Amino acid sequence: KTSKVQYYNNPMWPGEAHSLKVEKILYQGKSPYQEVLIFESATYGKVLVLDGIVQLTDKDECAYQEMITHLPLCSIPSPKKVLVIGGGDGGVLREICRHSSVESIDICEIDQLVIDVCKDFFPDLSVGFKDPRVQLHVGDAVEFLRNAPEGTYDAIIVDSSDPIGPAQELVEKPFFETIARALRPGGVLCNQAESMWLHTHLIQDMLSICHETFKGSVHYAWTSVPTYPSGAIGFLLCAKEGPSVNFLTPTNPIEKLEGAMTAGREIRFYNSEMHRAAFVLPTFAKRELEAY
Ligand SMILES: NCCCN[C@H]1CC[C@H](N)CC1
């Protein structure tokens, strides 16, 4: 029994569709923001789908959650206050908790239903919510950031879905300006930044906005996530100018993380070599992205 999720008409990847063999539907529902589907797949474990777009699978979520978290947090000395935008599944929280220097974690997720279903079906990710350092805010990120005092955070991680649903405003300039204001000088932003195979124009727009908004440094990094379209996903690493922006990206990450445990779970993807390699771009991407 296979059920093909045929979305040839998704504007984020016109003309292509991805299918996974469905063993059992575990949850189907609708929040005020999006449709939520969870199923047991034949070969990738459980799968979370929002509005027909794969968000994570048991098998490969480690690549995305570990890289989007450790690329920024291993780039600055002893991060203490961290903010997550999105990330309602809890995976990024799980990864942040590996950093013993972190004292407080704010998370702003717009959709309570995503939080609730991930607590039921993805305990390996939602374990992140159990850490006493975590403070959950359910609501709109732009609103949350407007109310955040200036210079609050050492690091902000934007773990967003694609900009064709509730995450639409998370790629526009005003949003990045509120992020820059909420970061302390020398603080770092890591933003989900789509695929260099599919979204060059969107990435170029984001790079331009970030170069204008962050005077520190802006770098594009990427990694392999088999169940994301094109099998690759990118990250925008931006440093707010500061006294000593020791924001090393292609060179050695400042902090070593190997072996850091969270709730009995080991790191499965990230290491310092992968950190450095993430900033190495293929020639077409250098041409298309490094000019911005
Ligand atoms: N924390 C779950 C990952 C959410 N990130 C997005 C999922 C959908 C992809 N097309 C882009 C990244």
Q: Give the separation between CA 144 and CA 262, rounded to whole angstroms.
A: 28
Q: Which of 51, 124, 159, 162 is catalytic?
A: 159
Which residues surround ligand 1 with Cβ inside 6 Å?
53, 55-56, 64, 87, 89, 91, 159, 161-162, 192, 228, 233
pLDDT of residue 250: 43
User: What global pTM score does this model have?
Assistant: 0.94
Residue 154 annotated as catalytic: no
Largest CA distance in the chain: 59
In this structure, the residue with its CA closest to atom 2 of ligand 1 is 55
Average pLDDT over every residue of 27-45: 97
Two structure tokens written together for 267: 């790191």
Tell me, what's the ipTM? 0.95
Choosing from 168, 233, 235, 236 the residue with most ligand 1 atoms within 8 A of its CB, the one to mutate for a pocket test is 233
SS3 at position 159: strand
Q: How many residues does the chain have?
A: 292
DSSP state, 131? S
pLDDT of residue 77: 86
CA angle 223, 53, 231 (to 5 degrees): 25
Condensed to tens digits (0 to 9), the pLDDT of residues 239-254 reads 988 765 555 554 568 7
In terms of DSSP bridges, do strands 183-192 and 232-239 run parallel, antiparallel, or are they unpaired?
A: antiparallel
Q: How confident is the model at residue 256 (pLDDT cuts 50, 70, 90)?
A: confident
Choosing from 95, 162, 168, 197 the residue with most ligand 1 atoms within 8 A of its CB, the one to mutate for a pocket test is 162
Condensed to tens digits (0 to 9), the pLDDT of residues 102-150 reads 999 999 999 999 999 999 999 999 999 999 999 999 999 999 999 999 9
Condensed to tens digits (0 to 9), the pLDDT of residues 202-245 reads 999 999 999 999 976 899 999 999 999 999 999 999 998 876 55
